[in-house]
Structure 1
């Protein structure tokens, strides 16, 4: 059995993975808060998509890959199957999106929360073990069943708490505290699942097919940077409920627009206006009844 090192670069990779999970969780909670105040189905779908990307893509999947940078197995190189790796990212985003749709549509209830937590937690666990299946190394990977079950239970619990926070947390300090808690839960699930793994190395190094960490690192970092910038821009550009309430308040202060005054008609006591139309085509000649003698 080969020796496994989860922290090859010391505290750097777990610290970065925790920071990413907290950042993604905070952005996701803010976007989820906009779902509750959205005025249309299209806006709810938009903010739900952004929240799913922030939590599923940044807080969960990017955290997973960052933590994997510090993973090493003695005596073998580690490569990654790119399509399977990308599939794990898609699984994370879709699972969180469906979970938010379950708890965010209709009236919020315990039944919806449990259903969303079960689905999302199972999706997060599927993301983790799909990402692990993407690894290519010179050896055979095995898992301890008890720890795998424990990691799935942690994933379901963390997902349920995350969805509950997404539907209830509104203010700044509460969002920060919730994001810190979510970061602990996500990292706890990851490293519990990693501790369930063991590697039986094959004799000889051999060639390992797949992409190296350095090949995947640059595009993933760029995706994270552009994704976070896009999320922040979307949040800053969109008006909040307070903005809309303030605009409505100032509209009431201005009051309704004044009605247009009717045109002023000058008096015509001697019929000069009628006489001025004589001679025009189609103008009838005034009768004595129109201008009675005075």
Structure 2
């Protein structure tokens, strides 16, 4: 028989908090990717890895905060921990592939298509693998068309986010991009949930169990702590507030490449701007 599904047991609280977490992970990841493009190659993998983990953790946390509001009437839900944490690993690894492609090749057409496709499939895989970790007295069925729409949304969101990360602009640009990314990722989640239908096994009397919030809260502690630490690293990094490094400070910072002087097309150094002296009244021989 069909189960009665409620995806908003706590009203708008879980969707809003889930959206905030998706934006937070996206903002941290985009700033780390931008930072990676401003440093020497030896430092770049570390920043790209931090950005991948931030985006993956943010998306995973968003998913399971949203799932706190998901209930099935008469069928208590449990979560298989190995499968649940495996979905986190899939998110981080596949997002990392896209981040590293753009981080090293730039926001070119081929890199964006490849990285966006891999990252979008990673987001979708995380979602459906996380759903596969649910345990209850029934089974899940999905509408194929709606699932395809959710995957397309994930791929479009990932491509847009990687493009934004490759622009190397200021902090406000990354904030705006992360808000759009959070909206797209959250929209992908609820589109995927709209494709879901639940069929319960005939077990007789409905049973009660722990709430999804009580089951998921302990699992979220680790990713939330990681996002907090990543936020501290990003906030206190001296180059995070700008879209490009300040030349005078960057020369004394580890991991920031030296910037050669700007050259004309003929290969000669650009001339220095003449210092303009204050205007004085010209003195002619007649005025002496």
Instruction: State if a TM-score over 0.5 links the two structures.
Output: yes
**Distance (Å, rounded) in 1 between the aligned partners of 2:4 and 2:100:** 42
Pairing 1:53–2:53 present: yes
Counterpart in 2 of 1:273? none
Q: Aligned runs of 1:114-133 on 2, under 5 Å?
A: 114-133=113-132
Distance apart, 1:170 and its partner CA: 2.0
Counterpart in 1 of 2:93? 94
Contact 2:76 2:210 (C-alpha < 8 Å) held by counterparts: no
How many residues in Structure 1 have an aligned counterpart in Structure 2?
A: 246
Counterpart in 1 of 2:31? 30
Unaligned runs of 5+ in 1: 250-294
1:81-100 superposed Cα distances (whole Å, 9 cap, x missing partner): 00000000000011110001
Contact 2:120 2:151 (C-alpha < 8 Å) held by counterparts: yes
Q: Who wins on radius of gyration, i.e. which is larger?
A: 1
Deviating more after overlay: 196-205 vs 13-22: 196-205
Distance apart, 1:163 and its partner CA: 0.8
RMSD: 2.3
Give TM-score, length-normalised by structure 2: 0.79
Give TM-score, length-normalised by structure 1: 0.78
Structure 1's consecutive aligned runs of 4 or more residues displaced over 6 angstroms after TM superposition are 206-211
Deviating more after overlay: 163-172 vs 124-133: 163-172
Unaligned runs of 5+ in 2: 253-288
Contact 2:64 2:216 (C-alpha < 8 Å) held by counterparts: no
Counterpart in 2 of 1:8? 9
**Distance (Å, rounded) in 2 between the aligned partners of 1:230 and 1:150:** 34
> Structure 1 pair 72/49, CA: closer, same or farther in 2 (3 Å)?
same
Q: Aligned runs of 1:220-239 on 2, under 5 Å?
A: 220=220, 222-239=221-238
**Distance (Å, rounded) in 2 between the aligned partners of 1:91 and 1:107:** 23
Counterpart in 1 of 2:137? 138
**Distance (Å, rounded) in 2 between the aligned partners of 1:89 and 1:244:** 39
Distance apart, 1:106 and its partner CA: 3.0
For the residue of structure 1 that corresponds to 2:11, the secondary structure is coil
Q: Which has the higher helix share?
A: 1
